[in-house]
Amino acid sequence: MNNLLPISGQSGYNIAFLKPQSFEDAQYAIEQLKQGTVVLFNLAALDPKLAQRISDYAAGSTCAIAGEAREVGNGVFIYTPPSVLIKTQL
């Protein structure tokens, strides 16, 4: 996939913006996450059951590597490797 972009101001980090259409797309994304890439999923257009399955898989995989997962919008999720922290502002 050709959708990796550098995160501004950070050296060595990439972010993948993905709209997975299948569970196999999610597996690819988790491989990217394991390699240190931040993954942003847009699941809003998917069938709700598939979106839930992908979200659960990604969240479990992220937890397994001690990363972080957050919903950042309606059906949009961010998954980060342990080297990237998500800061929440109130």
Q: What's 11's domain CATH number?
A: 3.30.110.150
Distance in angstroms (rounded) separating the CA atoms of residues 90 and 1: 34
Task: Name the token pair of 18.
Answer: 């993905």
Give this prediction's pTM: 0.81
The domain total for the chain is 1
CA–CA separation, 74 and 72 (whole Å): 7
Tokens of 34: 């394991």
Let me know if residue 58 belongs to a domain.
Answer: yes
Three-state DSSP state, 57:
helix
Domain boundaries, position 63: 4-80
Q: For residues 59 and 90, give the distance between their C-alpha atoms in angstroms, rounded to a whole number.
A: 23
Residue 29 class from Cβ within 10 Å (0-12 exposed, 13-18 middle, 19+ buried)? buried
In order along its 90 residues, the chain shows pLDDT tens digits of 455 545 555 556 788 999 999 988 889 989 999 999 999 999 999 999 999 999 999 999 999 999 999 999 999 999 999 988 888 776
